[in-house]
Amino acid sequence: MPELPEVEVTRQGISPHLIGAVVDKVIVRNPKLRWPIDPTISHLEGQTIRSVTRRAKYLLLDTEAGTLILHLGMSGSLRVLNPAPTAEKHDHLDIVLSSGAVLRLNDPRRFGAAIWWALPIEAQPLLKQLGPEPLTDDFNVEHLVQALKGKTRAIKLALMDNKIVVGVGNIYANEALFAAGINPKRACGSVSKARLTKLVEEVKLVLAKAIEQGGTTLKDFTNADGKPGYFVQQLHVYGRGGLPCDSCGSSLQEIKLGQRATVFCGKCQR
């Protein structure tokens, strides 16, 4: 599943082609995504796209009449095409611009979403309960201490809770906890403020590095055959269960937490 850095780089890639553009037509080929695409999405037609922003893993295309909310799900990708080639099996949605360019959503597994929201975006149920963005000042140690106080669930599961902080998916939770020296199984309420301070720093650092890497790896969002995926980067623990720890050389352990693969060093992380 694309994680926050992949979605942010997608936003950066498509924004220059969309901001200020007028939507000429909306073509829905298959409305059966995670939630059925509502016919009111046609209200986007004739609107000027004022901004392209991101909230958690949702992309928001804002217009005067409302906001188009896009989610890439597990396998979705967006491309700006001009001219647009003939649509294929998994090309479910086209946003045709007056310039002739097309923003196309391709989603083989159909776990993505496209929602037209005419009311103020702050009232959208999907976004209303989300925690702070991890790369903003709102995600800080004071917030984390308060959110975790008295809680007994594993720190990794808390870190991946979108009500506590958005967008810290499995890959980056593994990496941030390793960098902070915190065992992912540790009860979140038992982690000291000093160690949580380090964790906040590492979450910001690992996500920022991934976004920077994606900005150089995935430069072109205008090719029909371009597919964004996980960035080629140095991962210290994720996907390395059984291999030597980069820091101490001991064998990395792999377990399941919340049904997700969790890799850590039993010596370096406590």
Are residues 158 and 185 in contact, defined by beta-carbon separation less than 8 angstroms?
Answer: no
* Residue 49 C-beta-side C-alpha neighbours within 13 Å: 26
Strand pairing report for 51-55 and 58-62: antiparallel
- Catalytic entry in 54, 57, 104, 240: 57
| Angle at 93 (CA atoms; ends 6, 102), nearest 5 degrees | 80
151 among the known binding-site residues?
yes
Are residues 18 and 70 in contact, defined by beta-carbon separation less than 8 angstroms?
Answer: no
Amino acid occupying residue 73: G
- Catalytic entry in 3, 6, 8, 175: 3
Q: What is the 8-class DSSP label of residue 166?
A: S
Catalytic residue at 260?
yes
Are residues 181 and 198 in contact, defined by beta-carbon separation less than 8 angstroms?
Answer: yes
- Catalytic entry in 185, 209, 260, 267: 260
Which among 142, 183, 193, 186 is positioned nearest to 164, based on CA atoms? Answer: 142
Which among 101, 98, 94, 90 is positioned nearest to 68, based on CA atoms? Answer: 94
92 among the known binding-site residues?
no
Which among 159, 208, 165, 210 is positioned nearest to 188, based on CA atoms? Answer: 159
CA dihedral for 188, 193, 195, 196, sign (positive or negative)? positive
The Cα 143–Cα 34 span in angstroms is 32
90 among the known binding-site residues?
yes
Catalytic residue positions?
Answer: 2-3, 57, 260
Can you say which residues are annotated as belonging to the binding site for DNA?
A: 90, 109, 151
Can you say which residues are annotated as belonging to the binding site?
A: 90, 109, 151
